[in-house]
Amino acid sequence: MTLITDLAPAAGCLLDAVPLLIDRTFPLAERFKKKLPQSIAELSRLLTSGRGERGASYLEKPEMLQAYLRYFLPWNLYRLSRLLPGLSLELCEGDAVTDLGSGPLTLPLALWISRPDLRSVPLEFRCIDRAGAVLRAGRRFFAALAEFTTGAETGTPWRFKTAAAALGAPVRGKPAALVTAVNVFNELYEDLPYRDHAGLAGKTRAYAGLLCRDAESSVLVVEPGVPRAGEFIACLRTALAEKGRLPLAPCPHAGPCPCPGGFSPGGKKTRWCHFAFDTAGAPADLHRLSAAAGIPKERAALSFLFSGSAKRSGKTAPAARPAETAEGGLPVRVLSDPFPVEGGNLYGRYGCSEKGLVLVRGEKSRIGALVPGSLFTAESVAQTRAETRDRKSGAFIIDIGAAAVRTAGTAAPASFRAGPRKRRTGS
């Protein structure tokens, strides 16, 4: 199994229904439908090159909210629906989830679509966003989606508390089991100069404090799969580790991050941790709307970090275990698409390990089987006396034609996993 999973058939059917359900829930007059592709293109510009013109309350404007609901929300649901089934979220009856910058309840909607095992579990979602209009739209759409799924108006034990407030506002209620933030922080550090790593790290430590107010909570942060977001995720990984919160995914270790993003001392861009995947399973109506807006998507990408709670992990992060296990294996998380390797008919993929960046080499068919997000163990690494490094990247080379390879699960090694949680009853 891989972190980036294929869509389950039922999840694919629900995603296919999303555009139609949005149209039913938020009907548009014909004249506004004709302008929708231009509104989507304009919102895309305001979120990228024109962000200085956007303003804090851009989703309070009806035309921008409709563009967001019809384009950005479905694409975000698709991305999350490929990610969430591969994470051990461990949500139990009566748990609370605090969703920061919730928008139109994107994270709860994606959980409903992609995690049917949680639909019957009584959960409380505290959804916070500065735009009240988008929260109200999210509640309406979640009710429509739940009714569509179950056939009943009151077909879910999930309960929602929404608050139009700033990110740092107090969150009332019992401690959260999970704190989430999806596509939130990139809007907060976007004004920093691109090479200001120290400034980004400083802001990130403050954001880590917001995410860690509940000692028992796990933390899930998802950002766009772009270099700056990858640099932020690496900074957040460090800041959370300083608070005793170990990375559970995608990292296969708790040592230094080999993909920190940003720039090297020589001024070159360094690799950032992200996962890219195809969009063939996205709704056909969404593809058509994307093409009409002039921003079609053949690939989707994200950067993310899932960290354990401080209470279950201990007050401080333990030192990383030795790079080779007692059995002689090295856990490696596959990061990149395959590419031809110089000097032969071999192919390679980059990966993350306790040895740092890894270049996995082998025959095309074997490399092709190691999809981005998958975790495997190279079992004969400990037998290699001299480490071989790639001249171009400096990555440690693993030849899987010679090394035994064992496919592993999606989570971090056992020494870095949160302990099992007891199922609770009541609230």
Strand partners, 359: 350, 397
Strand partners, 98: 126, 179
pLDDT of residue 1: 54
DSSP string, 298-309: SEEEEEEEEE--
Q: For 1-33, how does the pLDDT look when each residue is reduced to its tens digit (9 = 90+)?
A: 579 999 999 999 999 999 999 999 999 988 888
CA distances from 101 to 118, 226, 228, 299, 377 (A): 22, 19, 19, 25, 37
User: What is the mean pLDDT of the segment spanning 236-265?
Assistant: 92
User: What is the mean pLDDT of the segment spanning 301-328?
Assistant: 59
Residue extent(s) of CATH 3.40.50.150 domains in the chain: 9-313
Tokens of 394: 């400096």
pLDDT of residue 426: 36
Residue extent(s) of CATH 2.40.50 domains in the chain: 330-409
Give the confidence band of 306 by pLDDT, cuts at 50, 70, 90: very high
User: What is the mean pLDDT of the segment spanning 274-298?
Assistant: 95
Which fold is adopted by the domain 330-409?
A: OB fold (Dihydrolipoamide Acetyltransferase, E2P) (2.40.50)
What share of the chain has pLDDT > 90, as a percent? 65
Enclosing H/E stretch for 247: strand 247-249
Helix 30-47 with 284-292: angle, nearest 10 deg: 80
DSSP string, 249-283: ES-SSSS--S-B-SB-TTSPBPPB--EEEE-TTS-
Higher local confidence (pLDDT), 221 or 420 = 221
Instruction: Give the range among 249-253, 260-264, 381-385, 390-394 with minimum mean pLDDT.
Output: 381-385
Neighbours of 420 (CB within 10 A): 9
Where would I find the beta strands (DSSP E) of 183-231?
Answer: 218-224
Query: Is residue 301 predicted with pLDDT exceeding 90?
Result: yes
Instruction: Give the range among 76-85, 325-334, 380-389 with minimum mean pLDDT.
Output: 380-389
Place of tokens 């959370």: 240
Give the confidence band of 197 by pLDDT, cuts at 50, 70, 90: very high
What are the b/e assignments for 44-81, b being 16+ CB within 10 Å? bebbeeeeeebeeebbebebbbbbbbbbbbbbbbbbbb
Burial, 359: exposed, middle or buried (Cβ in 10 Å; 0-12, 13-18, 19+)? buried
pTM here is 0.89
CA–CA separation, 248 and 179 (whole Å): 14
User: What is the mean pLDDT of the segment spanning 304-317?
Assistant: 68
The rounded Cα 301 to chain-centroid distance in angstroms is 9
Q: What is the dihedral of CA 32, 105, 252, 415, to 10 degrees?
A: 180
Contacts of residue 348, Cβ cutoff 8 Å, sequence gap at least 6: 338, 339, 340, 341, 359, 360, 361, 362, 367
Taking the alpha carbons at both ends of the chain, their separation in whole angstroms is 33
Tokens of 366: 């074997």
Domain covering 9-313 in this structure, CATH number: 3.40.50.150
CB 15, CB 81: distance < 8 Å: yes
CA–CA separation, 302 and 373 (whole Å): 11
Query: Is residue 210 predicted with pLDDT exceeding 90?
Result: yes
Q: For 362-388, how does the pLDDT look when each residue is reduced to its tens digit (9 = 90+)?
A: 998 889 888 889 998 887 554 444 568
Neighbours of 192 (CB within 10 A): 16
For the chain, how big is the Rg over CA atoms in Å? 22
CA distances from 133 to 57, 62, 136, 171 (A): 10, 9, 5, 19
Where does 95-131 have alpha helices with state H?
A: 106-114
pLDDT of residue 385: 45
CA–CA separation, 117 and 110 (whole Å): 13
Among 324, 336, 356, smallest CA distance to 257 is for 356
Neighbours of 280 (CB within 10 A): 9
Classified as helix, coil or strand, 393 is coil
